[in-house]
Structure formats: C-alpha cells, structure tokens
Structure 1
C-alpha cells in the first residue's frame, strides 16, 4: 500500500517530502523542514482554485536549506485528471525545457489514493510577482510572455514525440482531460450551475446574445476544427493569473494542469484577453499576434500561420477561454473582483470578435461519446 499525499500542510512529514524529492533525485533525503506559509482554499482571498500551495523551508541532507513550494490536492473535489497531467508535465517535459518555468524538485501522482504532490522552487526568491486581471501588465511584460509561448510552441511544433514517447500529454479532443472538461455531466454541468446561480455571469452571457448550450457547441466545434491544424504543446490554461513577472520585464508560466497537445491559438488568445483591459486589448491584440508570429518564425517554425489565418483562429479560440476558462470558476476561488474582471474581459472579447457566430460556421460535432 502506498502513502497518500496530504491535502493540508499539517499532514506533511519528512518521509513524504523525501519520497517526493526522490522522484527527481534518487538520493535526496530531508533532514528537517518547517511550513512557513501558504495559500489554501477558503474565502476567495487566497487565489487558489484547483490545488493548495504550502510554503516550506526544507533542509536536505548535505544541501543548503532552501525555500520551496509544495502543491497539494484539494480536499473536497476530485480533480485527478488535472493532478495526473501536471505531474506528467513536470516529470517528463519540464526537465528538458530551457524556458522560464518553475524549477521542479519532486513530482508524483499516487494512483492508489488519487493524490499528488509537487515540489517547486519558491519564485519569490527571484523577485517574482504574480499578476491577475486586476493588476496592470506592461506591453513589454506581455510580449515576454508571448515570446515564451512562441518558444514553447516552436519547440513542439508538429513534434512526433507528442504522438509517441510524450503522448502522456493528451489532446484537446480525446482522453480523460477532454472528458473531464467536455462530458455534459462534468464541467459543463458546473457552467450551467454557475450561470444559474450568479446573476453577473447570467446577464453578461445574455448581453453577448448567447447561452450555455450555444457556447458549449461553439467550443466543441472549435476543438474539432483546430485539431486539424498543426499541433504543438499548449500550456492549456494560460490566463494571466497563471503567469509570473520577474524584474526586467520578464515573464514565466505557472500551473500546468491543463497542458495539452493542441493549437497555438488556445494559449495566445487566453493570455492576451485576460492580461489587458478591454480598450487595451482592442488597440493592441493584432500587433501582439503579429509579434507572436514573428517570434514563432524566429524560433524555428518554417511555415507559421499567416496573419489572416492567425486572426481567424484567435477569434475562434476565445470561445473556450470564456466557457471553460471563467464561467466555470466560482467566485470563492479568486474573489469577486478577479472573477468578474475576467468574465467581463472575456465576454467583451467574444462579442467584439464575433467568436460564437464564427464557430457556428464550422462543422457540427458528433454526439459526445464516453
């Protein structure tokens, strides 16, 4: 019988942390540790949604003491597909990437208990700040994030490893992660519940002239369409709150639970729309897409999308960003202001870009099959 990972930092032990560290360093051993803080589930002020974070000072045998962050599973909601997926990213993909992504010291998913643990560097040691939809992001900071995405996407552009040895990272159209988000009785049921319960979500969806069923259909159509385009490794959940900013206008990418094989536009649309105010986005989005395409070419993609093709896919991708990205999210996770700001920005973008009507011209999806 294996040892389950705790959902609360009070359950951390030397043996648990040693077990986690040894997934990346077979001889690692924890001498002493102390929990010095963290972000956990509660009243919406801790800005956590799918995993808690314990801030831990760890003294490894023969190593200097170091502050680390331990990600822990939720105690109340079964999110095993997300935990399994993030562990796969940090175990099999992160070690080979020379990108601004947190350094990983340990990553494990325990199949028997359905629990997981991740040990990551504490980014605050490098002066990191953590933006969200209510904080300003400069043009240079956003371009830095787009450059990281271009480097990531270029590295995995039509890369056969994603169909072979790295196929543990699933696509947007099949597998347990797809079923988790798109099976009608799973996340779509949560969207329906949120729209029914939260008047601001209900009225914003009404304001853009649509409803949950139409948005669901739009997302399914877009996913099937974009699965026919050149594939790459997507961050998968690239809203501005899953990024960090370092001194010198540099940025990085956090929280890889939704990493997937998919279309580049999935990431680019989400970070642009959530990072900028409505007026900033309207003024800058085309220039930012051009910048991303230039970087994609610079980092080795021989035939990147044309601007016309990119604009089309960017507009389509906005459907997922609204429907799955933030209509699902209860305000208790991030607080009212961050939640409302994201939903407002995404509704405005979907309306401005004609995303729903554009998706309606795509072939209809087949009935969902389990």
Structure 2
C-alpha cells in the first residue's frame, strides 16, 4: 500500500468558501474571496460582559459631560429626526431623510403637508405643531453645556446675528426687485425697517436659549388625520432663542386674520406643554413677549432663502415666498416688534 495514499489529507478542514475554485479544483482570480461565516451570537466576543441580548464588548455607560436626549416617554415621538437604515446606500439615505418615521400609532396612514393650493392650516393642526415644538424646547431649556461632545452643534451669538443682519440688508434689495410689483408699499417699508433694526434684535435674543429647529415652517411639517405632527429638515438645528421657532411658525403659517384671532390661544398651548415638561420659571407673559420678539426670524429666513436658493424659481415657489413675507410683515406690524426693539435700544 502506498504511504502517500494512507497519509491523511492536509487542510481538509479549511472552508472552501474562502478560496473559490473552478471545476478542476484550481483557484480562480475572477471571483473575490467571500467573507468568513459570522460566528453565532453565543460565541461572539464580549457576550459575557454585554449579555446575550447585546453582544457588546463593554456595557454602555452614560457620559455625564454630554447632554442626553430625554426618554421616548418624555419627548414627543414625532420630533425625533429619522434614522437611516444602515443597509441602504447614501442616495437612499438622502431620500429617507425626506420620509421620516412616524409615531407607531400612525403607521399605515399617509402623512400630508399642510401647504397645498387652496388648503389652510386649521387650529388643531397649529396647536399640535406648537405642542410638538415645545417637546423639543422643553428638555433643553436654559441648560448649560449643550455643545459638550457636539462640536457640530452651532450657537449663534450676538455677533453672528449681526452678521446675518448685514446679509439680510444686502439681500433685501434683490428680493424687492423680484417681487416689487406684487408687494404693497406697507410691506416694503416693514421689510426695510426690519433690516435696519436687526442689530438691536441680536442683542435681545441671546439671553434665553434651548435647542431650536431653526426652520420650523409649514412646509417642513407633516400631519396625519389625527393631527399628529412630524418635523423634517433638521440641518438648521442649533442652540438659540426659543421665540424664533414659535414666531417663525405662527407668522408665516397663518394668514393675518386667522393669526390675530388664534395667536393667544396657540401661544398658551405652547406654554402649557412647556410647563408639563418641567419649565416652571417661565410666565405666560414672558412667553408671549418672546413670541413678539422672535418675529424677525420670518423675514430673515424668507429673504435669505429666496436669495441663496439653489433651485430655479418657479411659480409655486414665488407664491410660497410671497405668502410667507406678507404674513410675516403683517405679524411684525400687529405685534409691534419694531417698536419693541426700539424701546430696548433706548
């Protein structure tokens, strides 16, 4: 008997998937090597520390130097930005950012934006949007160290707002040249005066702070039939004055007649939600005062959005910008915001 035949074959235990072969058993270079089999959960490293349910090498510990998001029971579900599926491509993730995950109770329903031709925002929707906004503001109200461990999170100070005021002044004239024939002289004057008072506005809104959305307008909100709200477009998230979000929403989403009739009740609903979330040192009068003080946010974002938009203007976009700027200018006049800024400046 040949000794070579009696000897056991070596490397018989190796996984052939690691080296693809042809029919004759020769290795081929046309196919990439397949990844090794993933070990079962009970054999993964770290299961003794992390437990059989987690598979972590070390248990997760809280970081006291970083602001922690409140638990799902404290913060409204719809205010959280959607998390992309880790198995999707970058292009699919960008589209997923436009399709936020709804509250579990709303799955299966079709959310819709409130801004459609001939459709107006109803009072229950506006109240739900403001209560949802309080779900973002409340947990971070006047908390220090919000930027610890979050270098990407910006906080616009007085100098930053003054710089934005200079950009607003430069962008106002092109905006008026574009819409001069569709704006009234009163709105044109209000827009000019708002740009002139922007330096005083920066000094007044740098005291109270929280985490704000930065672009909380009607086009960035999705509503269900049960008036549950989902906020999208979180790239403007920053630390800032909470009245900016409240005023930007109310001043642009509601027509002047409807806003005048409902703004006190809507601000009260926002204040009640803040109180329920633990903000107990904030009287209702101060809340309404901050709403009045935050209205320059509306012409600021509307004018800058028109001047620096990357898309080609369309009739629908022009109609949206005109509606927002007209409503914003009317709110500034009705609430006496410029007089409020002038009295603080003296």
CA distance in 2, matches of 1:292, 1:211: 27
Q: Report the equivalent of 2:198.
A: 219
Q: Report the equivalent of 1:286.
A: 264
Cα-to-partner distance string for 1:78-119 (whole Å, 9 max, x where unaligned): xxxxxxxxxxxxxx9799875314412179xxxxxxxx9574
Match of 1:345 among 327, 332, 343: 327
Match of 1:267 among 227, 245, 248: 245
Match of 1:130 among 113, 121, 128: 113
Report which of the two structures shows the higher radius of gyration computed on alpha carbons: 2
Residues 191 and 299, structure 2, Cα contact 8 Å, conserved in 1: no
Residues 165 and 199, structure 2, Cα contact 8 Å, conserved in 1: no
Matches for 1:1-370 after TM superposition, within 5 Å: 99-100=77-78, 101-105=80-84, 119-120=96-97, 122-123=99-100, 126-132=109-115, 135-173=119-157, 182=164, 184=166, 186-200=167-181, 203-204=183-184, 206-208=185-187, 210=189, 214-228=193-207, 230-304=208-282, 306-326=283-303, 328-329=305-306, 332=313, 334-363=316-345
Distance 1:282 1:195, change over 3 A: same
CA distance in 2, matches of 1:106, 1:189: 42
Distance 1:293 1:95, change over 3 A: closer
Deviation at 1:172, TM superposition (A): 2.7
Distance 1:360 1:161, change over 3 A: same
Cα-to-partner distance string for 1:124-169 (whole Å, 9 max, x where unaligned): 9751101227532222111111111111101111222414223532
Unaligned runs of 5+ in 1: 1-26, 28-91, 108-115, 365-370
> What is the TM-score with the length of structure 1 in the denominator?
0.61
Deviation at 1:227, TM superposition (A): 0.6
Deviation at 1:217, TM superposition (A): 3.5
Distance 1:122 1:324, change over 3 A: closer
- Alignment root-mean-square deviation, CA: 3.3
Find the residue that maps to 1:252 and give its secondary structure.
Answer: strand
More strand by share: 1
Distance 1:277 1:211, change over 3 A: closer
Find the residue that maps to 2:146 and give its secondary structure.
Answer: helix
Moved more, 346-355 or 207-216: 207-216
